[in-house]
Structure 1
């Protein structure tokens, strides 16, 4: 009887273990009982850009029989946290969206990203676009598009008010005053997620301190994040806030839901500082507004070391392969398709994206004009929140939002970032 019970219990345990093993092998999405394989892809693209990603996935599946791709579009703001949790929990997607820079480097240092140097042809990409995902001579991501951040404005509104594109910051302030006197919000800004306000801080800092300011602070060679240029940047932000150059409650407005864009479309605001994705978003949101949409580069500031030919920009998306992927080689092939010339061509001509892939032809004159701005730029300042290590980037974003909210002095903000930089970078 005792032996019988042991035999029965052994069968039960065997069944449970077997069941758990089978459950584990299918729950991670990489293997199926019928021999097919599934890859997971996380990205944050929307509109025509999302369509280009989906089309690339469809081509990949057609060329790889028995392979399915589970595409998960994440919301922009919570995405970084979700991926960090997935990475830390050992359940990352096979392929994921990043921006390169310090944020990706943290995952690389933790051994969570595959070196795809041997999987991609580096000659296919623009060097400036490839470099944010290169660490210690190895490549951990392939780029699809590049971004620049101009000042977008309502051309028709400017013409009616007799306004012209400014060449200096003083001229920009005159535009702010004119718009305000006509009950129009000068700059539409939804800064709940903090990064939209960072554009102002980066531009002001560069215009005062010049192209080498950030590199010196980041590399701990020369000026720091508490340099006078950063203090002045904070002062200019607060000057605009005190002039009421932004919408009421802007620090609590949600960018992802389109609150800042809607003010521009409704002609309640005259300008917005956003990336070149604004063109594709406008075509998706309100295509009829495109004919009113113009752009100019953030102007120079008298006495500053920066130039109006120095631009803020970045590389996005960059696609990488998780080290824990059970199908790394297939995942790398998916990355190649996602960043192929065909995908880049589609993205450029449907979403207004500047290609990170060489030899793309722009059918869209507007996109070609934006691309030429990048080509003529003398310097590109990459996005702070993507270039800096995450813990330092968060301090930068928090203090910048506080500057806009007038709850912190420029000196306090600069000092707090510098103290964190000493802790993280040295």
Structure 2
């Protein structure tokens, strides 16, 4: 017998299958890239469809609607609608099939789907539009580079969040041992060995989540093989089982073999790993700059924000990558539909571009890809200012290990990487598993 709950699941699945089919037909009938600016017709309201888990962007937009963007809101009222992130891809596909995309909406969880919308002409070309609005220079170049890398080479989404990644380190621990920031992988290993010999845990990372470890792996790959190394894998020009990729996996496996990582790494979750660093039990913590929220919290950070430094993933001797190419991401970015991109919507976009960065930083302690006045940055904690300088000085970014993977490869990567660093899976086995997933499509 089929239960009511099962019928609901079946009905929901059928809805998304139908949506996907309709979306495929619509997208197949279209060609080209994003639509030119100014060709859409204004809707009755600025509807924003966003994932329900996003607690940062909607409050800032609501604050803007009653403040700096009040005139734009009177002309075109903001209306925010939320949906669970797990349902977002399916809902967007359904709306595409109905030719009913809202004026503004968050990206789904799969960048490839966003690229399809761009290729079908459903999204705005922000390179063109922001240039015409006179505000293209208000976007950090590194954020644009990240979006283009994720979404098929197009600046088709806006960076409401922007994070770079690197190694946070305990400055006092480094000073006590006479260390400066290591610039190369070999120097980093020398620091780790000296710390371990003195009874200090060099690195903390979450094996339960997995991705904090695979970030180390992609960091090594980008530094050794260059910024396009994982794009080549995605395009079929290289394989993760090629010797140079396996060598990168072996380098990360050695961190575990040499005792540079937590003994309980397989069961350690994100908060536990972060606390190991903030409580002074580990010298280094690889993470994105979203961790600044916790670092700048005096209650949770027992070592003190002034005692935390930030450095890029080091260079690999003889490698093709550059230490200035920071891994970066834009969270779950948002975009605007081309069909409703009329003058009133464009006025909203201009106001957002000019003001969102400052308001997000001040009200939510969140860094975005929109530029912020220097005087506002000067009021932020020193480490936050340091991150800002690095973001402003970066013109090229790289992604992360699973960014271009299919769902199965991404799941297996996070699930099994703890086995790699605990010696339960060899580098050849780990990379072979993921390549098999990629080959299966």
What TM-score does the superposition give when structure 1 sets the normalisation length?
Answer: 0.72
For structure 2, list consecutive stretches of 5 or more residues without a partner in the other structure: 1-43
8 Å contact from structure 2 (residues 65, 72) kept in 1: no
Tell me whether 1:219 sits opposite 2:227 in the alignment.
Answer: no
Counterpart selection for 2:434 from 400, 417, 421: 417
Counterpart selection for 2:292 from 274, 279, 286: 279
Number of the residue aligned with 1:188: 204
Alignment RMSD, CA only?
Answer: 4.1
8 Å contact from structure 1 (residues 156, 292) kept in 2: yes
Counterpart selection for 2:88 from 66, 71, 83: 83
2-side partners of 1:232 and 1:162: how far apart? 30
1-side partners of 2:225 and 2:45: how far apart? 56
2-side partners of 1:139 and 1:304: how far apart? 29
Tell me whether 1:380 sits opposite 2:405 in the alignment.
Answer: no
Counterpart selection for 2:139 from 122, 125, 132: 125
2-side partners of 1:136 and 1:173: how far apart? 36
Bigger Rg, which one = 1
Change (3 A) 1:266 1:96: farther
Tell me whether 1:248 sits opposite 2:263 in the alignment.
Answer: yes
1-side partners of 2:58 and 2:48: how far apart? 17
2-side partners of 1:330 and 1:286: how far apart? 46
1:93-112 deviations in whole A, cap 9, x for unaligned?
Answer: 9555449xx92322553799
Number of the residue aligned with 1:155: 171
Change (3 A) 1:127 1:90: same
Counterpart selection for 2:254 from 239, 244, 247: 239
Q: Which moved more, 1:258-267 or 1:246-255?
A: 246-255
Residue 133 of structure 1 and its aligned partner are, at CA, apart by 4.7
Change (3 A) 1:56 1:259: farther
SS of the equivalent of 1:183 reads: coil
Change (3 A) 1:335 1:273: farther
Tell me whether 1:115 sits opposite 2:129 in the alignment.
Answer: no
8 Å contact from structure 2 (residues 278, 301) kept in 1: no
Residue 290 of structure 1 and its aligned partner are, at CA, apart by 0.8
Residue 368 of structure 1 and its aligned partner are, at CA, apart by 4.0
2-side partners of 1:159 and 1:148: how far apart? 25
Q: Which moved more, 1:178-187 or 1:198-207?
A: 178-187
Tell me whether 1:306 sits opposite 2:321 in the alignment.
Answer: yes
1-side partners of 2:426 and 2:48: how far apart? 48
Change (3 A) 1:334 1:151: farther
SS of the equivalent of 2:202 reads: strand
2-side partners of 1:308 and 1:108: how far apart? 29
Tell me whether 1:316 sits opposite 2:324 in the alignment.
Answer: no
1:103-139 deviations in whole A, cap 9, x for unaligned?
Answer: 2322553799941338952524345423555667865
SS of the equivalent of 2:390 reads: helix
Counterpart selection for 2:244 from 223, 229, 252: 229
For structure 1, list consecutive stretches of 5 or more residues without a partner in the other structure: 1-34
Counterpart selection for 1:103 from 110, 128, 131: 110
1-side partners of 2:154 and 2:221: how far apart? 31
1-side partners of 2:344 and 2:199: how far apart? 53
Number of the residue aligned with 2:73: 64
Number of the residue aligned with 1:342: 355
Number of the residue aligned with 2:39: none
1-side partners of 2:409 and 2:204: how far apart? 27
Number of the residue aligned with 2:417: 400
Q: Which moved more, 1:303-312 or 1:241-250?
A: 303-312
Residue 379 of structure 1 and its aligned partner are, at CA, apart by 4.6
